[in-house]
Amino acid sequence: MFKRLAQSILSAALLFSLSSPSVHAAATDKVAVSLPGFAVSVNGSPIDNVHNKYPLLLYHGITYFPMTWNNAAALGLQVSWDSANGLHITKLQTCQPLVQDLQPAANAIGADQARLAPFPVKVNGQVVDHANEPFPVLFFRDIIYFPMTWRFTNDAFGWNTAWDQVNGYRISACGSPSETAEQRNKEQLVQNNLINGGLLAVSGDWIYTNPSSSTPSLARWSKDGSCRMKLSDDNARSINVVDDWIYYTVQDKAMIDGQYEYTGIYRIRQDGKERTRISSVQASHIVVNQNWIYYLNANDTGISRMTIDGTESEPVISEKGIQHFFIHEHQLYYYKNEKGEWFRADAAEKQKVAEGASKHMIMVDGWIYYIKPDNFSYHLYKKSASGSVEIRLHSVDPMRDNGPIGSLHYRDGWIYFLHGRNGIISSISLEKIRMDGTGHTRVDHALKATQLYDADPFFYVRTHVLNSTDEVITRTGEAGS
């Protein structure tokens, strides 16, 4: 509530200032600006400048940042305004997660749409001299835009900045340029590998996988696949690695009434020792989170959880028809296949976040990315967590474009996915697209893949073996793609 009130007061103050005669004269001083043609990230979070209500701008080759409440908080800045002294920007010691105000329509701006700031601006108590400033503070869409010059980013604010043609412009405003983003990326990798099937997990320099459907086992490989060791003969599913332990379910190869049987939840040391069955419960999918094992009951009674040693258990979601689930930032999301519905299980009630969708859904920086078949096409959408904003990023026609898309992953500002159709003469490709829907690129041929896994810097897929019923885990894509 305080945030909304403070932002309303600041916006009202800026609008009031524009109504005064002195400001009106300054408002006629317009400058030509454009949209950046490169990626921009803040503390590891990529900015969607295509759909941003207040997009970043370029003026004489310098990037300009809109000083909205959310952007300032992400940059570790405090922004205040008063009628006597104008705008004050002060460096803080902490940063907040980046929150983006997006809209479905893509941005398009013409020339001469920004103007010089119509009131005084101070940075850390020092007045910015507009008359002699080669890159002055600008005003666009009733928001102050600040130049990302070395004088301000490094000298005044103490940020780490970098630019290259591959990654674009990167700002690390608080602490190490990689610590927060690296931890977030690790958690994202674990979560997405489980969402995509759970047949491969990563821990340090090793991956843990069930490499073959015809001769199932739990194995440990080096990330590049050159060193391999079998840990057990279990047909391991939903592989979770926590500390020195590997947790997983075991699927029986035999089917009863068209359904696979599961023999329980197990754990084993990363060196293959101390294999133990924690519980005999039939669980088709598990997620280890905060000393709990969440599991989907194979007998269609919903989602439950047990303590990590299996001594206590309790129901979490008692509903039939649940096909899949994941946990993101301590919130549980689950999927029901009948209507293609994704739900978020809040403390008091459940909230539908997508309908008519496939099982392929991931969360990145507070936005939901999911695939929705519609009118003979497959669409990749992003949607705000509140459900108020939905943006279509990419579409394919399976008949014209060689099949549907699926198996989403996130890495370094890109959404990766599989595209194609498994057939006698057709195949699958690994592709990627930026978070704003631009830069669609074919990365590599992915054989006849059905699932995509991230073992940064490598990608692996589960793929059909030609002229065989076997499915195997194999590497695809280039390291660092």
From residue 481, alpha-carbon distances to 113, 434, 443, 459 in Å are 37, 13, 7, 9
Domains of the chain from N-terminus onward: 2-177 (no CATH), 187-194+360-481 (no CATH), 197-320 (2.120.10.30)
Task: Write down the pLDDT at residue 112.
Answer: 58
Task: Write down the pLDDT at residue 301.
Answer: 93
The string over 423-449, giving b where at least 16 C-beta atoms fall within 10 Å of a residue's C-beta and e elsewhere, is eeeebbbbbbbbbbbeeeeebeebbbb
Whether pLDDT at 39 is above 50:
yes
Q: Tell the residue number behind the tokens 């412009």, with chain if given.
A: 169
Whether pLDDT at 82 is above 90:
no
Q: What percent of the chain has pLDDT over 70?
A: 90
Phi, psi (5° rounding) for residue 21? -60, -40
| pLDDT, mean of residues 173-177 | 71
Task: Write down the pLDDT at residue 176.
Answer: 61
**Contacts with 418 (C-beta within 8 Å, 6 or more apart), sequence order:** 405, 406, 407, 428, 429, 430, 431, 446, 449, 450, 452, 461
Mean pLDDT is lowest, of 3-7, 83-87, 289-293, for 3-7
Task: Write down the pLDDT at residue 4.
Answer: 42
181 closest CA partner among 413, 408, 368: 413
| pLDDT, mean of residues 421-438 | 88
Mean pLDDT is lowest, of 76-80, 176-180, 408-412, for 176-180
pLDDT confidence band for 348 (50 / 70 / 90):
confident
417 closest CA partner among 370, 456, 464, 455: 370
Asked if residue 190 lies in contact with residue 202, where contact means CB atoms within 8 angstroms, the answer is yes
Angle at 475 between CA 471 and CA 479, to 5 degrees: 160
Mean pLDDT is lowest, of 75-89, 302-316, 354-368, for 75-89
Task: Write down the pLDDT at residue 6.
Answer: 45
Q: What does pLDDT average to over the chain?
A: 88
pLDDT in tens, 352-362: 999 999 999 99
Task: Write down the pLDDT at residue 254.
Answer: 64
pLDDT in tens, 17-36: 333 333 333 445 788 899 99
| pLDDT, mean of residues 360-379 | 93
Whether pLDDT at 108 is above 80:
yes
Count each helix (H run) and each strand (E run) in the chain, helices first.
Answer: 5, 41
Residue 104 is classified by DSSP as S
Secondary structure string (H, E, C) spanning 174-202: CCCCCHHHHHHHHHHHHHHHHHCCCCEEE
Whether pLDDT at 9 is above 80:
no
**Contacts with 134 (C-beta within 8 Å, 6 or more apart), sequence order:** 60
**Contacts with 102 (C-beta within 8 Å, 6 or more apart), sequence order:** 48, 51, 52, 53, 384, 389, 391
Asked if residue 353 lies in contact with residue 387, where contact means CB atoms within 8 angstroms, the answer is yes
pLDDT confidence band for 15 (50 / 70 / 90):
very low
Higher pLDDT, 14 or 455: 455
pLDDT in tens, 206-265: 999 999 999 999 999 999 989 999 999 999 999 999 999 999 999 987 666 667 889 999
